Structure 1
Amino acid sequence: MIWYGLLVAAVAAERVAELVVARRNERWSTARGATVAGQGHYPAMVALHTGLLAGCLAEVWAAGRPFVPALAWPMLAVLAGAQALRWWCIRSLGPRWNTRVIVVPGLPLVERGPYRWRRLRHPNYVAVVAEGVALPLVHTAWITAVVFTVLNAVLLTVRVRCENRVLQSATAPAATVPA
């Protein structure tokens, strides 16, 4: 269990690194007239992701979940892939990436990295979903995986609608006024 605790701590450290990047990017965006949306669901998102980390450890400890190598190693590979995808998204969006919904008006949509595939509009959330399943299952914390996945699906429904609405209005061509 100690190594699993270290894995969860490493994911928590990665989250802190994300917040550092997000704060820097927020300053960049606000300096360029960015708008912030979706403030209402942000605390729920923070609580849910914190709950994922705590739930992984609590379930393994309280329920005595076993380490099952046939499940753990593939889930560890999925987790590593999710982290790689997340940081590819962060690098591709550059200073426009954030944990909040912050959009600089007038900038075109990013079309590089995983964002070049138009059918996959929110690749960062693919990473979040994969991580939410894989991290708990590395040590068979299946209840945490199920609860996070269900609650995350509800939250992502709200979040993606919010992002799509804001991105559409921020990147829409200005209406012409007849003379």
Structure 2
Amino acid sequence: MEMLLWLIFSLIIFQRFGELILAARNRKWMLSQGAKEWGSNHYYLFILLHALFFLSIIAEYTFTTFVFQPIFYPAVFLFIVLQGMRIWCISTLGKRWNTRILVLPEEKPISRGLYKYMKHPNYVIVFFELLVIPVLFHAYATALVFPFLHLMVLTVRIPEEEKALKERI
């Protein structure tokens, strides 16, 4: 079981680094198309939050006794569903998907995929990932703390994003 957990953890870390590389590539493309970046002064909060999230999982998993719980299987299922939704969001936005706030002038917000049903589906998905991923590793304190830290960061992020979409250069 321990080998499986480290494999899952490694895959999640690999995925997140891949997303940062994709975001950097998309950012470069968007800026070349005349996009304006907003809210860069709070971006470090997301990096800090996610770095501490993974360190917290490692610490909690390492310093507590792992006891396999049947909740592992529903958590894996939810994690897989959330990954599908995450990929759906990324593919819907295409080159416009980013971890930063970038807005192309005169372009309307995307309103298909999950964005047809809600304004910020990726933030909802991340909230639930921050709840579900730690459960896989028996890191219940992390599962309680980090979704709410994410909500606190979003109290800065979402108003900035809404402002950027309204002002659109």
Same fold (TM over 0.5): yes
Corresponding position: 1:23 with 2:24: yes
Verify the 8 A CA contact 1:67 1:138 in the aligned structure 2.
no
Contact 1:59 1:65 in 2 (8 A): no
Secondary structure of residue in 1 paired with 2:37: strand
Once the two structures are superposed, residues 97-150 of structure 1 have per-residue CA deviations (whole angstroms, 9 ceiling, x without a partner) of 101111111111111111112xx1101111101110000011221101112112
* Paired amino acid for 1:125: Y
Q: 1:176 — aligned with what?
A: none
The equivalent residue for 2:91 is 91
Q: Deviations over 1:55-89 (max 9, x none)?
A: 11210110123221x21111111111111111111
Length, aligned pairs only: 168
CA distance in 2, matches of 1:88, 1:152: 21
Instruction: Please state whether the residue corresponding to 2:102 is helix, strand or coil.
Output: strand
Following superposition, the deviation at residue 7 of structure 1 comes to 1.0
- TM-score (normalizing by structure 1): 0.89
Match of 1:121, SS state, is coil
Paired residues of 1:38 and 1:159 also in contact (CA < 8 A): yes
Q: Does the CA-based 8 Å contact 1:88-1:114 persist in structure 2?
A: yes
Structure of larger gyration radius: 1
Spell out the pairing of 1:17-56 with structure 2 (5 A cutoff).
Answer: 17-56=18-57
Q: In the TM superposition, what is the alpha-carbon distance from 1:2 to its structure 2 partner?
A: 2.6
- After superposition, the C-alpha distances for 1:147-179 in whole angstroms (9 at most, x for unaligned) are 2112111011211111111112118xxxxxxxx
CA distance in 2, matches of 1:102, 1:109: 11
Name the Cα RMSD after superposition: 1.3
2:57 and 2:139 in contact (8 A); partners too: yes
Give the equivalent residue in structure 1 for 2:67. 66
Partner residue of 1:131 out of 129, 134, 137: 129
Distance 1:41 1:79 in 2: 27
Cα distance in 2 for partners of 1:81, 1:50 equals 23
Q: Secondary structure at the match of 1:55?
A: helix
Sequence identity (%): 33
Structure 2 unaligned runs (5+)? none
| Alignment partner, residue 160 of structure 2 | 162
Structure holding more helix per residue: 2
SS of residue in 1 equivalent to 2:137: coil
TM-score, normalised relative to structure 2: 0.94
Tell whether 2:143 aligns with 1:145.
yes
4+ runs deviating over 6 angstroms: none
